[in-house]
Amino acid sequence: MHFTKDDTLAINTIRVLAADTVFKSNSGHPGAPMGCAPMAHLLFSRYMNFNPKNPHWANRDRFVLSNGHACALQYILLHLTGYPTSIEDLKQFRQLNSKTPGHPESHITVGIEVTTGPLGQGFANSVGLAIAEAHMAATFNKPGFDLFNNYTFVILGDGCLQEGVASEAASLAGHLQLGKLIALYDDNHISIDGDTEVSFTEDVAKRFEAYGWHVQIVADGNNDLESIARAIEEAKKVTNKPSLIKVFTTIGFGSLNQGTEKVHGSPLKADDIVQLKKAFGFNPEERFVVPQTTYDLYHAKAAKGAQLNQEWDALLENYVAQHPEEGAQLKRRLRKELPENWATALPRFTPADKATATRKLSEAVLNKIADILPELMVGSADLTGSNLTRWKNAVDFQPESTGIGSYAGRYIRYGVREHGMSAVMNGLDAYGGIIPAGATFLNFISYASGAVRLAALSGHRILFIMTHDSIGLGEDGPTHQPIETMAMIRATPNLVDLRPADGNETSGAYLFAISAKHRPSVLSLTRQDLPQLEGSSIEKTLKGGYVLQEVEGANVTLIGTGSEVSLCVDAAKILHDRGIKARIVSMPSTTLFDEQDHDYRASVLIDGIPAVSVEAMSTFGWDRYAHESIGIDTFGASGPYKDVYKHFGLVPDVVAGKVQKVVAFYKSEGRIPSLVRKYFH
């Protein structure tokens, strides 16, 4: 491949703009953008297909900057290629309400595929993006209609490769033989603590070869464009392995402090920027300058992308004409629309139906909707038989060569990789046309919390199907029994907690989670059987909290979630025999309940009588909904689940006794604060 002085000028323009951008904000990371400029230039000027005028073109190549602290690099490239990121936006880098925040955020900046910053997450997202391409291609491509054939490119650094989530995702990608995933490793030997010799001396190339990746090494990533280009071309030829290109670079290339940690997370000094611009042929008195030849170079590539997009649109319309059913499905999925009347397939229950664990009820839902929702891709972190997430006719997502599935399969065997699974699902949703769901035990969502948090921040529609959700799992004991976990979930913005009490609420949980286009949901499901409740419904579940059983002249409100709603029902019967009338509220989602209007919440949590919450988990956070809380504020215990419930006093007679004392206490107090009529609530 032939390179000219225009390529050199474009690369140096990136380096100078990175220095200007970070200096202007007096905050950020100039070193990595300056070091990665050559490889990033090649991707955006020679190899990637994209269309800034239609950023959501379904078959565009995806680019992920996993070392998100280097985001000045990505913002600069978005500007140069014609995305709606202006020079003024670069000047507003890291400022409040700007389109160029301190790390890439997909919901803020057009052209950012996934939100990155916490190291390793973007790399794992890229695995999800590559899985999505392979699946969409296997599902929709037909002879003469190569609708999906894009590549996923990711730049990552030493820090990304030290994070466990990257190891999990890399291992999975190698197993799945994701040949259209190409990772460029910016090996600059620098981290915040200094040279990586202090903590990171493994042979990354051999590690990735062991994962099943195709690995190449480029010795001079600062100047040798031919070698970088040759490595990318070779990577594209390897179709049965993901590729890692290890590129040796110099952090802060051109700075007086190049090659040191001093250029990692601090702006270059003014005199350093002056000498940098002189060395690269720029006027040191000018800032944020882009030569027209550089604009022309990148705009020419963008124009080619626009032409490819136009050709693809025509191909799609021809596809729809010849394959109307598949074409209509594809268009619907890309619009994030659901099949008409799909929710009518959700099972409904009456109290006459047998008691069933909500994980088993979840399995019933999946069997009802899996064929109706072909966009649903489900998986488990090596707990399929416990999570009950694989429907009867499911096909595994596997390479054809394994003989155990195909890329058209919709069930992903994630292995014991909870964090990797969750980060991969972020990539699956970001690709488009797919609704990902992944399962493990509720307690182990803590392993995945970094990716779960980014799902909430980014607004990904993801179903976290979490079973064995309390001390009800029994004998496995406190290492597996979630206590504080739901409190963390409920405290996370835009993450929806769904802890259903029976079959109707389980169906309602799925109705919400699948319908919510821009919110992840956590379905908290039991191991133990629960009765089907009188008064529950799919529709009421969507309110987050509702009156399950009303009683005239009530003395107390009992609030339960999940497995403890039926406990409240049984405790209310004992209280009735003791002359205390208890109304019962089911609260499958505190998040959704908080979003209801004041009058509705006031009708559920009525004034004038005390409210008592009951949940086999931490009582933390329940003071918003109850005057007193019955729960567990220690770790759990190992034993048969009924014995464990009894041990912690979560049985009807003990709960009734505590509630009786609460009623007496507030009667003697003569005052019961309102739970709803608050200034800040």
In whole angstroms, how far apart are CA 517 and each of 44, 298, 338, 462?
Answer: 30, 34, 10, 9
Gyration radius of the chain's alpha carbons: 28
C-alpha 22/C-alpha 472 separation (Å) is 52
Instruction: Classify 474 as helix, strand or coil.
Output: helix
How are the residues of the chain apportioned to helix, strand and coil, as percentages rounded to the nearest 5? 45, 15, 40
Q: How far apart are CA 78 and CA 86, in angstroms?
A: 9
Per the DSSP assignment, residues forming a β-bridge with 377 are: 436
Strand partners, 209: none
Residue 191 carries which side chain, given as an amino acid letter?
S
**Which DSSP symbol is given to 175?**
H
Q: 376 — alpha (psi -120 to 50), left (phi > 0) or beta?
A: beta
Report the SS3 class of residue 342: helix
For residue 427, the SS3 value is helix
| Structure tokens that stand for 10 in this block | 């474009």
Report the C-alpha dihedral over residues 353, 516, 441, 407, rounded to 10 degrees.
100
Residue 440 is encoded by which pair of tokens?
Answer: 């493990």
List, in order, residues 6 or more apart from 571 with CB less than 8 Å away: 558, 582, 614, 652, 653, 655, 656, 659
Q: Are the beta carbons of 264 and 32 closer than 8 angstroms?
A: yes
Candidates 113, 163, 418, 628; catalytic one: 418
Region for residue 388 given its phi and psi (left: phi exceeds 0; alpha: psi -120 to 50; beta: otherwise): left
Give CA angle at 416 (410, 420), nearest 5°. Answer: 70
For residue 645, the surrounding DSSP H or E stretch is: helix 641-647
Question: In degrees rounded to 5, what are phi and psi of residue 592?
Answer: -70, -35
At residue 259, the 3 state secondary structure works out as coil
Query: In 337-346, which positions are buried (b, 16+ CB within 10 angstroms) versus exposed (e)?
Result: ebeeeebebb
Q: Give the span between the Cα atoms of 417 and 382, in whole angstroms.
A: 8
CB 561 within 8 A of CB 631: no
Please say if 418 is a catalytic residue: yes
Residue whose token pair is 């009765």: 531
Dihedral sign, Cα of residue 475, residue 476, residue 478, residue 484: negative
Whether residue 181 contacts residue 243, with contact meaning beta carbons closer than 8 Å, is answered with yes
Q: For residue 167, which phi and psi values (nearest 5 degrees)? A: -65, -45
Active site residues: 418
